[in-house]
Structure 1
Amino acid sequence: MRSRIGIVVSAVVVLAIAAGCSSSDKGSAPGSAGGSGIAAAGSPVDVGAPLPDEVKSRGKLVVGVKCDYPPFGYIDEASKNAGFEIDIAHQLANYAFGDPNALTLTCVTGSNRVSFLTSKRIDLIEATMNWTAERAQTIDFTTPYFDSGVKLLVPKNSPITSFDQLAGKTVVSITGATASLWLTQCMKNVKQMLFGETSQALSALTQNRGVAFAQDDTLLLDLAAKNSNLKVVGDAKADSPWGMGVRKGDAPMLGWVNAALAKMAAADFFWAEFQKTVTDKTVQEQFAKYVPRPSNTLSYPTGSTMQC
């Protein structure tokens, strides 16, 4: 299980999230686009697999991303998409078209990201999505690009320190998120209060409508770092790497994205971008093994992550 890790990032105006939850090509390209030695601005990059014809003819990628999940995908104070996953999406566009802004970023949530993909509203899901055997029956996962597990966010003075203490209590969670799926399967005596957005769930917790907010530790640690009245507790549950999602059986898209991710990992792109997103040196050291690097690979579990 992963240890508790504090995330220190720039302040994010959470209330701006709702304004960004529609299709958009806003967002600044990462400063490293073309600067990591792996993407020459102005010309597509051969990643070792052909770009799917449908995407190539359209001239841009359409990617479903989180818009309420700092520091990975959120709307910044300038009303632009920002975060670690957003930088990766820009690099994918740079590989595909030689232009990091040849990209449409569409805000998705845990409950609608798969339906957006299967209905062809997006080409690709890149939205803090843990691999699960259940999801893998509906979509195909790319190789992983980060790792995460589920923990609990509680008030600083809360007596709750573990999942075992949640029996018979109301817990806040996000519809369709791994945390909600795990609670449904493993803690049937917990009443879930479900929301579609992080800002709604956080408000419910601070209003004492639930005793805890269950979600990926990466998000919860960031929220706790910004709110001295909250803390993260519990051993990680449903620990599994994040992958991008493509439509089931879409071999051309899966092959191209996997080749692009491999190129990024070989150039240590993920680590370079993570350091730009999270600038605290102590935190960086603790996260180094949770991103693909030339000397570090991530892999999915062989069985279900929904173990109780």
Structure 2
Amino acid sequence: MTIFKLATLTAVLAASLSAPAQAQTSDKLQEVLERGYLVFGTGSTNPPWHFVDEQNELVGFDVDMGRLVAKALFGDTEAIEFVQQSGDARIPNLATDRVDLTCQFMTVTAERAQQVEFTVPYYREGVGLLLMANGQYADYAALQEAGSDITVAVLQNVYAEEMVHAALPEASVDQYDSVDLMYQALNSNRAQAAATDQSALRWLMVQNPDRYVDAGYGWNPQTYSCAVQPGDQRWLNFVNTVLREGMTGVEFPFYAESFKQWFGAELESPQIGFPVEFK
């Protein structure tokens, strides 16, 4: 064997032996534990997910998911530093290691999954129909029966009319460039229903329990998950464990209390015996 070939073989072997060691240098879980607090990315302008309350505190369902992870790490929901970020900063802040974890009503898509690693889902979003509690139409069946006699208000979007007609094919559709105008149309009876995110619908009902009702129909499902930087399976496994046990196990009371506070719904306690998530 020539000296050149021997040197090349030695270099290849050295690289292959060092690769596993390099792969193990990234350990976000250990990094966070040594730091003593979680750096958590979320928003601040979208109730009930994340917003600043009257006490100037950042609150919401996404915020509570961060506190749940902090509690799992340190036994303290306050062991957390919030990075308030815009929607378009969610992926860049993970990529540059500015945050350890992002929970910000982030819809799971195949395109995004090429850039981040998604956790198990913690919420299933969809579109719902908001009605006035004292309005002419009591539920989805009544809206269907009314056919073309009703008008549905919706936030302006290139797919808005198609989306509404997937649920109510004969309804007229009025599009508005802000959610406030959309709800004003409903309040003034210029529209008999408003098509909006189920989470927003539930939040409005929590805030105005005698004013609005849910028509009882949801469609256009999408999954919300938290996200971590790719490449650290141990950290992803840890966050998945925390979220899963929040929804189905030992931390269920924490998750259920938050769900009730922000969405006004009582969750059934997980069934004892066979794990329901595997049915």
Name the TM-score class by shorter chain. Answer: 0.5 to 0.7
Asked if structure 2 preserves the Cα contact closer than 8 Å seen for 1:116 and 1:122, the reply is no
Map of 1:18 onto structure 2: none
Counterpart residue identity of residue 82, structure 2: L
- What fraction of aligned residue pairs are identical, expressed as a percent? 23
Map of 1:297 onto structure 2: 277
Distance in 2 separating the partners of 1:273 and 1:67: 22
Equivalent in 223, 228, 233 of residue 204 of structure 2: 223
Counterpart residue identity of residue 198, structure 2: D
**3-state SS of the aligned residue for 1:146?**
strand
**3-state SS of the aligned residue for 2:102?**
strand
Asked if structure 2 preserves the Cα contact closer than 8 Å seen for 1:117 and 1:124, the reply is no
Asked if structure 2 preserves the Cα contact closer than 8 Å seen for 1:76 and 1:82, the reply is yes
Equivalent in 14, 37, 40 of residue 62 of structure 1: 40
**3-state SS of the aligned residue for 2:236?**
helix
Distance in 2 separating the partners of 1:50 and 1:242: 25
How much has 1:166 moved relative to structure 2? Answer: 8.3
Residues 1-308 of structure 1: matches in 2 within 5 Å? 50-52=27-29, 55=32, 59-65=37-43, 67-70=45-48, 73-97=50-74, 99-107=76-84, 112-113=86-87, 115-120=88-93, 122-133=99-110, 135-136=112-113, 139-156=116-133, 157=135, 159=137, 161=140, 171-173=153-155, 183=163, 190=173, 192-195=175-178, 202-203=183-184, 205-206=186-187, 212-227=193-208, 228-247=210-229, 251=233, 253-265=235-247, 267-275=249-257, 278=260, 283-284=265-266, 287-288=267-268, 295-297=275-277
**3-state SS of the aligned residue for 1:89?**
helix
Unaligned 5+ residue runs, structure 1?
Answer: 1-48, 300-308
**3-state SS of the aligned residue for 1:63?**
strand
Structure whose residues are more often helix by fraction: 2
Map of 2:7 onto structure 1: none
Asked if structure 2 preserves the Cα contact closer than 8 Å seen for 1:271 and 1:288, the reply is no
Distance in 2 separating the partners of 1:145 and 1:210: 32
Asked if structure 2 preserves the Cα contact closer than 8 Å seen for 1:126 and 1:245, the reply is yes
How much has 1:88 moved relative to structure 2? Answer: 2.6
**3-state SS of the aligned residue for 1:118?**
helix
Distance in 1 separating the partners of 2:161 and 2:275: 33
Distance in 1 separating the partners of 2:247 and 2:185: 39
How much has 1:239 moved relative to structure 2? Answer: 3.1
Distance in 1 separating the partners of 2:211 and 2:111: 36
Highest relative contact order (Cα 8 Å, sep 6+), 1 or 2?
Answer: 1
How much has 1:107 moved relative to structure 2? Answer: 4.9
**3-state SS of the aligned residue for 1:288?**
coil
How much has 1:142 moved relative to structure 2? Answer: 0.6
**3-state SS of the aligned residue for 1:95?**
helix
**3-state SS of the aligned residue for 1:219?**
helix
Map of 2:17 onto structure 1: none
Q: Which has the larger radius of gyration?
A: 2
Distance in 2 separating the partners of 1:192 and 1:298: 41
How much has 1:264 moved relative to structure 2? Answer: 3.9
Give per-residue Cα distances to partners, 1:62-98, cap 9 Å, x unaligned: 221465333x544333221234443331131233355
Q: TM-score, normalised by structure 2?
A: 0.60
Distance in 2 separating the partners of 1:230 and 1:61: 37
Asked if structure 2 preserves the Cα contact closer than 8 Å seen for 1:148 and 1:242, the reply is yes
Distance 1:295 1:182, change over 3 A: farther
Map of 2:11 onto structure 1: none
Counterpart residue identity of residue 155, structure 1: M
Unaligned 5+ residue runs, structure 2?
Answer: 1-25
Number of aligned residue pairs: 237
**3-state SS of the aligned residue for 1:297?**
helix
Distance 1:137 1:210, change over 3 A: farther
